[in-house]
Amino acid sequence: MKKKKSKKFSIICLLITVGLLTILGIGGVKKVQEHQRKVAIENEQKRKALKKYETEIVEDLANNYAGIKSVEFDKYMVSPMGGVQWFYYVNGYNPKQPSSYLMYDDDKKPYACRLGDLNVKKGKSDFKQIKIKYNYEEDQR
């Protein structure tokens, strides 16, 4: 009689354990999916903001320099103080020191902070004719 009761008890404990693990597993999967969805939304918002600012940078360059055919962005960098710095190359020219634009939290738009050798002259370029190579990768220094 005791063997029968202990066997039933073991089976009931095993079923309860399996049920709890199944419930925890399903809940964990749902939490992971929700987190991945939130991260995807944040990444999409970040991409849109970066593209907007990179486009503003190219518009500013087009308004100040003639002969720009293409602008290629390198990895951007976020400083500990909250500033974002974009590095870029004009017309495929890759000098030792890339030019950059900088923007802090309270700024409305990026501004030129370091102009390297741009290999172009002062004047105006047609913004619509400029080929832009966007980059959404952050430099992890």
Domains: count for the chain: 1
pTM: 0.71
Report the C-alpha gap between 35 and 6 in whole angstroms: 43
- 141 part of a folded domain: no
Residue 57 lies in a domain: yes
Q: Does some domain include residue 79?
A: yes
Domain containing residue 108: 2-133
Angle at CA of residue 69, ends 66 and 75, nearest 5°: 110
Q: What percent of the chain stands above pLDDT 70?
A: 96
Per-residue confidence band for 57, with pLDDT thresholds at 50, 70 and 90: very high
19 belongs to a structural domain = yes
For all residues of the chain together, what is the average pLDDT? 86
> So what's the pLDDT on residue 79?
85
Domain annotation covers residue 138: no
- Residue 2, pLDDT > 70, answer no
